[in-house]
């Protein structure tokens, strides 16, 4: 596995990975309407490219295949964390997330936040995040429950970036 920075050439592959993750893994916790709205975020490639180019985005790659990605934007916020369905639960999200967290520590961040989905909440809890509050967000008039979470970095020892 290689962990590397995002490049604009990755956008189409990451858009497909994003849609695959939302439709494949999302089906276990969300309605078809929620999945359709959520997956559509990656359909506008110029907008998706611009979003990915903000902040700090890293990719996990195995044998030339992009399998997971994570984005920190702004500096203290995990904005995206997605794994291709066929590579889920094999440590790739953990590896790419931990690389992002290590970089946040190098940048002297003292806390990381995220707005976790029902699917990602257990992952973030395992990584030391706690829920600050639950909220309803809306996309295209469709409601999504999400969890505002945070993790202090100043009191937590650095972790290895390998799963």
Cα–Cα distance measured from residue 38 to residue 123, given in angstroms and rounded to the nearest whole number: 19
Over residues 37-63, the pLDDT tens digits come to 999 999 999 999 999 999 999 999 999
Render pLDDT for 58-78 as a digit per residue (tens, 0 to 9). 999 999 999 999 999 999 999
pLDDT at 154 over 80: no
| pLDDT for res 139 | 87
The C-alpha atoms of residue 91 and residue 87 are separated, in whole angstroms, by 9
What are the tens digits of pLDDT across the range 78-137?
A: 999 999 999 999 999 999 999 999 999 999 999 999 999 999 999 999 999 999 999 999
């Amino acid at each position: 596995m290689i962990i590397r920075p995002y490049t604009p050439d990755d956008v189409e592959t990451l858009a497909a990975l994003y849609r695959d993750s939302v439709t494949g893994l999302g089906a276990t916790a969300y309605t078809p309407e929620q999945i359709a709205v959520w997956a559509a975020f990656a359909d506008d490639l110029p907008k998706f490219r611009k979003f990915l180019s903000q902040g700090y985005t890293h990719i996990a790659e195995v044998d030339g295949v992009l399998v997971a990605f994570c984005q920190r934007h702004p500096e203290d916020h995990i904005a995206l964390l997605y794994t291709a369905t066929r590579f889920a639960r094999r440590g790739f999200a953990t590896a790419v997330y931990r690389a992002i967290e290590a970089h946040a520590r190098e940048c002297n961040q003292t806390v990381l936040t995220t707005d976790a989905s029902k699917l990602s909440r257990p992952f973030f809890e395992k990584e030391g995040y706690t829920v600050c509050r639950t909220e309803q967000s809306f996309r295209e008039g469709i409601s999504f429950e999400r969890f505002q979470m945070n993790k202090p970095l100043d009191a937590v020892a650095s972790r290895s970036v390998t799963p």
